[in-house]
């Protein structure tokens, strides 16, 4: 069995299928990991959702900020400039797809493989145990009767820059960390505004570059993290702890597929958005 991981698909159905064809992906024996942002901005979000859902247990998907935007829009929230989600909202199977989507996790972890997947990032103050606990709390709300109100509350841009004491606000903060993180300080202060590859503010750096980040553990047994979300950063394949796979397919770049091995990886295929 082969385990493949792909970055932000964002509705780019044809490139996704081309990639999987290149490696002879077989859902009867292989598995596909999707690092969030399955939908939006690209032309075929509906086809992507239907295909990933059809794979069943052969596909592990985590939620990204654009996936949550789809849930919020379906729940009666706002649509933003550049969104390409109307075909999903208007589909006959929209309710079924939303039910499937809101039951996707924010973190997927395979201990035996030594890999964990999330969409954006982690706080340097979180251990892996704490990160998974934070994720489960958000997942519980997304899977509850209050999911519509919660998703709509995530449409504002006033996320706390540091972990708050208030439990409700903390849910918003935890969701932002897992689905929106790029830069933060070693004290767990997040910059939600910068989207460039390199920080303009010297007191923050990429979330995975903090040497003493608690999620890195004691160094005896590493857990490697595959993530997406950061098209400006591109492929991150030279770091001992992480693998970044958002290579900006929807922005004119490519969609990238990696094969995950125990504690290692191989970049096995890439495909232009022009396919």
pLDDT at 274: 65
Question: Across the strands, what pairs with 267?
Answer: 258
Query: pLDDT band for position 220 (50/70/90)?
Result: low
pLDDT, one tens digit per residue, over 124-177 is 999 999 999 999 999 999 999 999 999 999 998 689 999 999 988 999 999 999
pLDDT, one tens digit per residue, over 104-135 is 999 999 999 999 999 999 999 999 999 999 99
Residue range(s) defining the domain that contains residue 172: 3-272
In angstroms, the CA 187 to CA 157 distance is 21
Q: How far is CA 27 from CA 10, 11, 24, in A?
A: 21, 20, 10
Query: pLDDT band for position 217 (50/70/90)?
Result: confident
Return the residue matching tokens 């991981």.
Answer: 5
Query: pLDDT band for position 200 (50/70/90)?
Result: confident
**Rg from Cα positions in the chain:** 17
Q: Single out the catalytic residue among 66, 108, 119, 210.
A: 66
Locate 19 and state its tokens: 């990639």
pLDDT at 158: 84
Q: Tell me the longest C-alpha to C-alpha distance in the chain.
A: 51
CATH of the domain at 55: 3.60.21.10
pLDDT, one tens digit per residue, over 221-234 is 788 999 999 999 99
pLDDT at 221: 76
In 3D space, the residue among 50, 222, 213, 67 whose CA is nearest the CA of residue 138 turns out to be 67
Q: Is 210 annotated as catalytic?
A: no
- Residue 138, by phi and psi: left (phi above 0), alpha (psi -120 to 50) or beta? alpha
pLDDT at 224: 94
To the question of pTM greater than 0.75 for the whole model, the response is yes
pLDDT at 102: 97
Which letter does DSSP use for residue 108 in this model? E
Count of structural domains, the chain: 1
Question: Across the strands, what pairs with 257?
Answer: 6, 269
pLDDT at 73: 98
Q: Contact at 8 Å (CB) between 267 and 238?
A: no
pLDDT at 9: 98
Return the residue matching tokens 């958005």.
Answer: 273
pLDDT, one tens digit per residue, over 36-94 is 999 999 999 999 999 999 999 999 999 999 999 999 999 999 999 999 999 999 999 99
């Amino acid at each position: 069995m082969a385990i493949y991981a792909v970055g932000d698909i964002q509705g780019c159905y044809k490139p996704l299928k081309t990639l999987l064809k290149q490696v002879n992906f077989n859902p009867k024996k292989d598995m596909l990991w999707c690092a969030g942002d399955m939908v939006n901005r690209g032309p075929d979000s509906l086809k992507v959702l239907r295909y990933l859902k059809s794979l069943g247990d052969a596909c592990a998907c985590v939620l990204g900020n654009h996936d949550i935007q789809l849930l919020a829009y379906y729940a009666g929230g706002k649509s933003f400039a550049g969104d390409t989600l109307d075909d999903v909202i208007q589909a006959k199977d929209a309710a079924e797809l939303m039910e499937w989507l809101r039951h996707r996790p924010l973190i997927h972890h395979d201990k035996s493989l030594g890999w964990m997947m999330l969409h954006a990032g982690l706080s340097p103050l979180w251990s892996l145990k704490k990160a998974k606990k934070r994720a489960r709390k958000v997942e519980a709300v997304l899977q509850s009767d209050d999911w519509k109100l919660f998703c709509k509350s995530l449409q504002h841009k006033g996320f706390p820059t540091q972990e708050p004491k208030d439990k409700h606000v903390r849910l918003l903060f935890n969701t932002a960390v897992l689905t929106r993180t790029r830069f933060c300080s070693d004290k767990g202060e997040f910059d939600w505004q910068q989207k460039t590859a390199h920080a303009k503010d010297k007191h923050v750096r990429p979330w995975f570059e903090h040497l003493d980040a608690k999620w890195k553990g004691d160094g005896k047994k590493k857990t490697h993290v595959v993530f997406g979300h950061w098209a400006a950063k591109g492929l991150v394949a030279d770091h001992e702890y992480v693998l970044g796979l958002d290579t900006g397919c929807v922005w004119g770049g490519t969609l990238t597929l990696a094969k995950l091995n125990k504690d290692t990886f191989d970049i096995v295929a890439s495909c232009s958005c022009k396919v």
